[in-house]
Amino acid sequence: MTERLLEGRTALLTGVGSGLGRGLATSFAAAGAKVALVARSSAVPDALVQEIRAAGGTAAFLKGDITDPASIAQAVDETVATFGGIDIVVQIAAHGQSHLSRPLDDITLDEWDQHVAITLSGCYQVAHAAYPALKASGRGRLIAITSAHGLAGDASNPIYASLKGAIRGFAKALAKEWGDDAIAVNLFSPSSESESSKAYFALHPEAWEALRAAFPMRRMGDPAIDIAPAIVALAGEQFRFVSGQTIPIDGGFYTTL
């Protein structure tokens, strides 16, 4: 339960096509936030908007591409025009294949640049476009996603580990730069199950048993029940004095911060 912790606030969310994005969108709306769902295509967000409205929430779809400065700036402007401002930005959009294991000698420069453009530069584009609105809010929150692989490294996925680590440095820098503007900047590092991961582990139970041992709570998190409510709290007043931090929401998977 998230209660109405975000009543009267507007949240702009990217990456809403994923299970985690959906969980965040519905949880933020249930907590009272007006939710702007930004995506390149309306295929998923339109249905999600209708679901949120049917539950009594407020939501709108804004078309935006995080790799295109003009596009994301327009989505921000339309959000401000529609809802009167932006108090919270949650940036989780990333390259669709960033989770796949790829050794460095299999990665071309073009592939590397594509991942950088979406996962890292996309985070910059969103932050850059949203900054004036977050400053005007007087209680702005920028929340982005990282990973335990960005904290500890990952021998099987150097792109993912590198970019998630870079986002952590970016967030720390913004937390210091934007502090005078009353904007808190934080990251969360989730271990969240998805439809694709559930399907994969159903076909490969031995892979899940090997991974399961790394989780002290012996499971991955449910996006809507375990992960999203924690992000709602991070976006609210209860955590207004927390900034520049990485919050693992992973059942104890990463414990060396």
Which domains does the chain carry? 10-193+227-246 (3.40.50.720)
Q: Mean pLDDT over residues 168-191, rounded?
A: 96
- Please pick, among 131, 160, 200, 254, the residue that the annotation labels catalytic: 160
Nearest Cα neighbor of 164 from 154, 173, 155, 156 is 154
Residue 2 has pLDDT above 70, yes or no: no
Active site residue 160: yes
CA 123 – CA 94 distance, rounded (Å): 9
Residue 99 has pLDDT above 70, yes or no: no
Q: Taking the mean position of all CA atoms in its chain, how far away is CA 12?
A: 11
Portion of the chain with pLDDT greater than 70, in percent: 96
Report the pLDDT value the prediction gives residue 101, as an integer from 0 to 100. 75
Residue 149 has pLDDT above 90, yes or no: no
CA 4 – CA 45 distance, rounded (Å): 22
Q: How many CB atoms lie within 10 A of CB 55?
A: 11
What tokens appear for 40 in the block? 């390149």
Stated as kind and residue range, the H or E segment containing 50 is helix 43-54
Residue 94 has pLDDT above 70, yes or no: yes
The residue count of the chain comes to 257
Query: Any bridge partners for residue 35, and if so which?
Result: 11, 59
Query: Any bridge partners for residue 58, and if so which?
Result: 34
Q: Mean pLDDT over residues 36-54, rounded?
A: 91
